[in-house]
Chain A
C-alpha cells in the first residue's frame, strides 16, 4: 500500500521534475490541451531566470557548510540599474551594458568574499549586511524611476527561434557546462573538495580561499546577468525586482538535490525544482486559488518534498 514498500530507484534530483510534470499535467487537464505548449514556454522563461541565480547560489553553498549568499536580490537589482542607466535605451550599448552588469555582479561577489574572509564573519551575516549597501547603491542610481530597457535587449531576452525560446536554451547550455566543470575541471574538483572538508583540501594543497572567492564572484556575476535579462524580459528595472529570489534561490538549490552542508552539487536538479515552482504557480493560477491558499500549498509542498526525498550523501 505505501510507497515505501516499492523501492523507486529515483535519484534525489529527479523529484523536482516529477512534481513539475504533475503540475503541468494538472494545469493542462484543467484548461485544455490547446494550452500545453504555451504553459511550458512561459514556465521555461521564468525557470531560466531562477536557474541562473540558483546555479550561482549552488556554487556558493557547495563551497562549504555555512556558505550562502543573501545578497543575490540586491546584486541583481543593482546590476540591472547600472546596465539600464548605461544603455539608456540605446540598442548599440546592449553588449556594453551586459558586460558591465557581469562586472558589477562579480565585484559585488568579491566584496562579499572579502567581508567574509577579512572580517571573519559568518557568510549569512556578511552577505546580509552587504546587501543593505548594494540596495542603497541601487536606490541612488534608480531612485523611484522605472528604467526602460533598449528594444534590442527586450527582443533578445524574449527571443524565440520557431518555437524554441533562446534564453532558456542558453541557460540549459550553461547548466551542462556547469555539470562538466564540476566533474572535469580542476576548479570543479577543488570546489567540491573544499566543501567536503576544508582541512583535507588545504592539506591536499588546494588554495581554499581562492576557490571560495571565485564561487562568490561567479554567484554575483550570475545574479548580475539575471538582472539585465529580467529587466529586458519584463520591460524594465524596478526596485523590488529581485525580492523573490532571496528565498527561491535557496529553495531551488536544495530541492534540486544539492546538500546544504556543502561538498556536493547538482546543477541539473535546479531545473526540476525551478520548473516545479513555476508550473505550480501556473497551476494555482488556472485553479484561481487566492494568495493565502497559494502560499499554504507552496509551503506544504516544499516541506513534503524535502521530507520524502532521500537525502544526498556527503563525505
Chain B
C-alpha cells in the first residue's frame, strides 16, 4: 500500500493546486477534459507493466500504439473484419517476439528497439501521412458521459481493479509475478516459462492495442507518430507506481495512479503558467520530487 500512497499523494496535491487556481475544473465536465488524454496512457502503462513484471523492458510500446491507431483509422469503419484481422496479427507478432526473446535468451531492450522500427515502418506503409478517420461510434463512445463519474475515471477504476484482481488476487497472477522474480523456482514448480512469456507478451499486446483504440477515439484520426512518448512515460508510470526493474515487483493500481499523475503533470504546468521553455524541466523536477519521496518511505520501512 505504501507504494501506491506516493503517486496517489502526488496526484492529490496536483488536483488541489489546480483546484486552487481554477475551481471550475473540479466538476464533471472539467475533470473529463482534464483526464481524457490519460485513458490511453493508462492502458499503455499497464502494457509496459506486464513486460517489466517479467524483468524485461519494452521500447516498442509507443510505436505499437501508433500502428494500431493507423489500422483503426484506415479500416475499422469500412472493413471491420480486416481491422480485427490486422490487430490480431499485430498482437500475434508481439507474442512471437516474446517467444523469440525467450527461446534465444535475447536482451529485450534491443529486440524491442528493433520491433519499434518494425511497427513504425508498417504503420507508415499503411498510412504514409496522418489521416483516415475513427468510426463515429468510437468517437461517440469516448465522448460518452456516464452517470456519477466522468468516463476517464471509470476507465481508470476499471483498469486498476481488473489489473489488481488479475495479478494480485489470482493464483496465476502470483505465478506470473514469480516468473519475473525467480523464474527457476516457477519452472521447478512445473510451470512452462515459455507459456508464461508468450501469454504475458500477448496480454501486453492487447493492452497496448486498447491504448491505440482509445487514443484514436480521442484524436479521431490515425498517425504513425501519434504516441512515441508513451514508451518512456509508461516506464516512468510503472516505476512511479512502485514497480521495479528487477522483475516480479509491480503494482497495477500504482501504475494506473502513476499514469494519471504523469498525464496531469502537463496540465498542472499550463495552469501554473510555466513557459513552454521550462515545461520539460518542470516535468523532470516533478519526477525527481515524487520519486525522491520513495526514498523517505523506503528508509522508514526498513
* Chain A residues at the B interface, C-beta cutoff of 8 Å: 66, 70, 115, 119-122, 124-125, 128-133, 135-137, 139-140, 143, 247, 250-251, 254-255, 260-261, 290-303, 306-307, 311
Q: When chains A and B are docked, how far (Å) is the Cα of A302 from the Cα of B121?
A: 13
Q: How far is B114's CA from A298's CA once the two chains are assembled, in angstroms?
A: 7
8 A-B pairs besides A132-B281, A299-B119, A311-B106 with CB distance below 8 A are: A119-B288, A122-B239, A129-B236, A133-B281, A250-B110, A292-B125, A299-B115, A299-B120
Beta-carbon contact of B287 and A125 below 8 Å? yes
Known: A70-B232, A299-B114, A307-B100. A292 touches B278 (CB 8 A): no
Known A115-B288, A291-B124; judge A124-B105 contact (CB<8 A): no
A260, B107: Cβ atoms closer than 8 Å: yes
- Please, which residues of chain B bring their CB within 8 A of the CB of A251? 110, 113
Chain A's nearest CB lies how many Å from the CB of B248?
15
Partner of B281, one of A135, A295, A297, A303: A135
Is the Cβ of B287 less than 8 Å from the Cβ of A129?
yes
Q: How far is the CA of A143 from the CA of B276 in the complex (A)?
A: 11
Q: Across the two chains, which residue of chain A brings its CB closest to B235?
A: A124
- B81 CB to nearest chain A CB (Å): 24
Q: Roughly how many angstroms separate A293 CA and B120 CA in the complex, as a whole number?
A: 10
Set of chain B residues within 8 Å of A115, measured between Cβ atoms: 288
Assess whether B280 is in contact with A135, with CB atoms less than 8 Å apart: yes
Interface residue? B284 (CB, 8 A): yes
Q: Is B171 an interface residue (CB 8 A)?
A: no
| B16 on the A face (CB < 8 A) | no
Determine the residue in chain B with the shortest Cβ distance to A247.
B113
CA distance A272 to B123 in the complex (A): 29
Known contacts A70-B232, A125-B235, A132-B280; decide if A303 and B111 are in contact (CB<8 Å).
yes
Closest CB of chain A to B290's CB: distance in Å? Answer: 10
Give chain B's interface secondary structure class: helix
Nearest-CB distance from A130 to chain B (Å)? Answer: 6
Assess whether B280 is in contact with A121, with CB atoms less than 8 Å apart: no
Of chain A, the residue at the smallest CB distance from B127 is A292
Nearest to A119 among chain B residues (CB) is B292
User: Chain B residue with minimal CB distance to A295?
Assistant: B121
Closest to A124 in B: B235
Given contacts A132-B287, A133-B281, A247-B116, whether A295 and B111 have CB atoms under 8 Å apart is no
Complex Cα distance, B291 from A66, in Å, reads: 17
Question: How many angstroms from the CA of A70 to the CA of B114 in the assembled complex?
Answer: 17
Query: How far is A136 from B274 in the complex, measured between Cα atoms in Å?
Result: 12
**Is B285 at the interface (CB under 8 A from chain A)?**
yes
Q: Pull 13 A–B residue pairs with CB atoms less than 8 Å apart, ordered by A.
A: A115-B288, A119-B288, A120-B295, A124-B57, A128-B287, A130-B284, A132-B281, A135-B281, A247-B113, A247-B116, A292-B121, A299-B121, A306-B110
Assess A295 versus B124: contact at CB under 8 Å? Given A119-B288, A136-B278, A303-B97: yes
Q: Are B285 and A133 in contact (CB under 8 A)?
A: yes
Q: B219 at interface (Cβ–Cβ under 8 A)?
A: no
* Nearest neighbor of B109 in chain A, beta-carbon distance: A260
A152 to B79, CA, bound (A): 60
Residue of B nearest to A136 (CB): B281
Give the interface of B toward A (CB within 8 A).
57, 59, 97, 100, 104-107, 109-111, 113-126, 128, 232, 235-236, 239, 244-245, 276-285, 287-288, 291-292, 294-295, 298
Q: Let me know if B114 and A306 touch, CB within 8 A.
A: yes
Q: How far is the CA of A139 from the CA of B284 in the complex (A)?
A: 14
Which residues of A lie under 8 Å from residue B113 when comparing CB positions?
A: 247, 250-251, 302
Query: Known contacts A124-B235, A139-B277, A302-B113; is A133 also within 8 Å of B284 by CB?
Result: yes
Complex: A139 Cα to B235 Cα, angstroms: 25
Contact present for A295 and B117 (CB under 8 Å): yes
Q: Is the CB–CB distance between A311 and B109 below 8 Å?
A: no
Q: What residues of B have a CB within 8 angstroms of the CB of A121 in the complex?
A: 288, 291
Q: Are A296 and B106 interface neighbours, CB within 8 A?
A: no
Q: Which chain A residues lie closer than 8 Å to B115 at the CB level? A: 299, 303
Residues of B within 8 A of A307 (CB): 100, 104, 106, 111
Question: How many Å from the CB of B57 to the closest CB on chain A?
Answer: 8
Query: Do residues A303 and B100 form an inter-chain contact, with CB atoms below 8 A?
Result: yes
Closest to A251 in B: B113
Q: For A250, what are the chain B residues with a Cβ–Cβ distance below 8 Å?
A: 109-110, 113
Q: State whether A124 touches B281 (Cβ < 8 A).
A: no
* A-B complex: 3 closest residue pairs judged by Cβ atoms: A299-B117, A295-B121, A296-B121
Contact B128 A292 (CB under 8 A): yes
Residue of B nearest to A301 (CB): B114
Say how far B17's CB is from chain A's closest CB, in angstroms: 19
> Could you say which residues of chain A place their CB within 8 Å of the CB of B119?
299
Bound form: Cα–Cα A293–B206 in Å: 25
Contact A303 B125 (CB under 8 A): no
Query: Assuming the A-B contacts A133-B280, A303-B118, are A128 and B232 also in contact, with contact meaning beta carbons closer than 8 angstroms in the complex?
Result: yes
Residues on A with beta carbons closer than 8 Å to the beta carbon of B235: 124-125, 128
CA–CA, A299 and B123, complex, Å = 13
Q: What is the chain A residue whose CB lies nearest that of B224?
A: A292
Cα distance A295–B128 when bound, in Å?
A: 12
B-side contacts of A303, CB under 8 Å: 97, 100, 111, 114-115, 118
Partner of A254, one of B107, B245, B278, B292: B107
Q: Contact between B292 and A125 (Cβ–Cβ < 8 Å)?
A: no
The CA of A36 and the CA of B244, in the complex, are separated in Å by: 49
Known: A124-B235, A132-B281. A296 touches B292 (CB 8 A): no
- In the complex the two chains form, is B118's CB within 8 Å of A296's CB? yes
| Distance of A136 Cα from B110 Cα, bound (Å) | 29
CA–CA, A136 to B287, complex, Å? Answer: 15
Question: Smallest CB-CB separation from A137: which chain B residue?
Answer: B281
Q: Report Cα–Cα, A132/B276, bound state, in Å.
A: 12
